[in-house]
Structure 1
Amino acid sequence: MTTVLLALHYQNDVLHEKGKIRVGIEENSSQRQGIICAATALLQQARQHEVAIVHVRVAYRADYADLATNAPIFAGVRQLQAVQEGSWGSAFFTGLAPLESSPLEFEVIHKRINAFYASTLEAILNQLKPDRLVIAGVATHSVVESTVRHAVDMGFNVTVAAAACGAPAQAHEASLKSMSLIAHIYNDVDMAYLFKEKIS
């Protein structure tokens, strides 16, 4: 079984303690550090097992002309002046960026909630031809869940690496419970097992 890892929104504005979007996680929260450690381990294990990684960023023009206006979450991005392309905030968090020298790592930029929508993600996966996707990122109840649902509808077996996902506690747990109907929820902090064994 061929596996690809989707790493969603590990960006400064989303994950850094000084970021503009903190998805309800307090600046000095231990939860934040836990997500960073788990995401770091997830990327390390994928690389050690030669698993392809697609790193997904959300980013908009400085004038937000490419930002949709139909949902409160988009209005919030504009109000915060967050994830502007070329800014520190839209860049990957230190240590969680793609390895530019690796032929197994890819970057995708998207502008909606679902990482597949109007992006190059599907084309990259068509090239890699995985059977299974491991998905993690921030926020659990937003980009992660919407991307998981799309991936399942496309026919992929999906595993969510819960420790490397983040959101306010209640939303995080509710989203994992909802996704458990369609995807395997991997709660262990041992990220190596994700790539050593077939998770069914």
Structure 2
Amino acid sequence: MSETYALNETALLLVDVLNDFLDEKGKLAGRIGPMLGKTDLIAHLGRLVAGARAAGVKIFYVPHGLHEHSFDDVKHVHPRWQWAMENRLFWKGEWGADFFPPLAPVDGDVIISRHRTFDSFVNTDMLAKLKEHSIQKVVLAGLTSHTCVESAGRHALEEGFHVTFLKDAVAEFTEEAHHAAINLSYPTFGHNVTTIDEFLAAVERVPA
């Protein structure tokens, strides 16, 4: 039997749809831009968000956010985050940390507190807000395939949620990392690995 998604228990987790990733002036545009083009991610995410809103799916925005004291309590800061701090990546209060306007939240969407590393459940209100909204199934999309999207899915699985990855709604810095996520990690940690269209069709078949 194919998977279905009841509106009263499903949330779309839209991870890190921020200017530093998606705008051509963003600090990561030069690094991830080629893969954004190859995957046509912005157009796909736009279609996903529009379809999810039309269907009545709850959308949870899951943003990165750093500031000068983000790692004061961390003795061994990973080199990626050292670079991020030096370059003020996703810096709170700055344009790069703002939501990319074409995909920005609207009234009724849920915004999770900002995560500092890959796992958006750690040191955030993610779990509390999922429980507050009686969510049982999480559907993951955004950036990046092999880091924050995958990490959110792994943690959600450990917390007992049903996990779905949307393989045409993610992108990564390299093809190798992207394909590793989609072909190896997602089938390992997800209950379902599917497409935007298949997910939206499954939502439409289930009443709220």
TM > 0.5 between the two?
yes
From 99, 123, 127, give the equivalent of 2:128: 123
Q: Does 1:192 align with 2:200?
A: yes
| Partner-residue secondary structure (3-state), 2:189 | coil
- State the match for 2:60 in structure 1: 54
- 1:134 pairs with one of 136, 139, 153: 139
| Preserved contact between residue 136 and residue 144 of structure 1 (Cα < 8 Å) | yes
Counterpart of 1:41 in structure 2 is 47
Between the aligned partners of 1:188 and 1:47, the Cα distance in structure 2 is 13
Task: Name the structure 2 match of 1:165.
Answer: 170
1:112 aligns with 2:120: no
In structure 1, what residue type is equivalent to 2:178? H
Alignment partner of 1:20 out of 21, 24, 27:
27
Larger helix proportion, structure 1 or 2?
Answer: 2
Cα distance in 1 for residues equivalent to 2:178 and 2:202 = 20
Q: Distance in 1 between matches of 2:27 and 2:202?
A: 32
1:193–1:85 CA distance, 2 compared to 1 (3 A): same
Deviations 1:146-186 (A, max 9, x none): 11000011111111112111102110110112221221211
In the other structure, the counterpart of 2:3 is none
Residue 29 and residue 3 in structure 1: after superposition, are their counterparts in 2 closer, same or farther (change >3 A)?
Answer: closer
Q: Which secondary structure state, in structure 2, belongs to the residue aligned with residue 129 of structure 1?
A: coil
Higher alpha-carbon deviation: 152-161 or 69-78: 69-78
1:165 partner letter: V
Question: What percentage of aligned pairs have identical amino acids?
Answer: 26
> How far apart, CA to CA, are the structure 2 residues paired with 1:18 and 1:128?
35
Letter in 1 for 2:110: F
Distance 2:34 2:193 in 1: 27
TM-score (norm 2): 0.84
CA distance in 1, matches of 2:205, 2:84: 39
Offset at 1:115?
A: 0.7
Q: Please name the residue that 1:98 is paired with.
A: 105
Distance in 2 (CA, whole Å) between partners of 1:59 and 1:182 is 25
CA distance in 1, matches of 2:176, 2:167: 14
Q: TM-score, normalised by structure 1?
A: 0.87
How many residues in Structure 1 have an aligned counterpart in Structure 2? 192
**Aligned ranges 1:172-187 → 2 under 5 Å:** 172-177=178-183, 178-183=185-190, 184-187=192-195
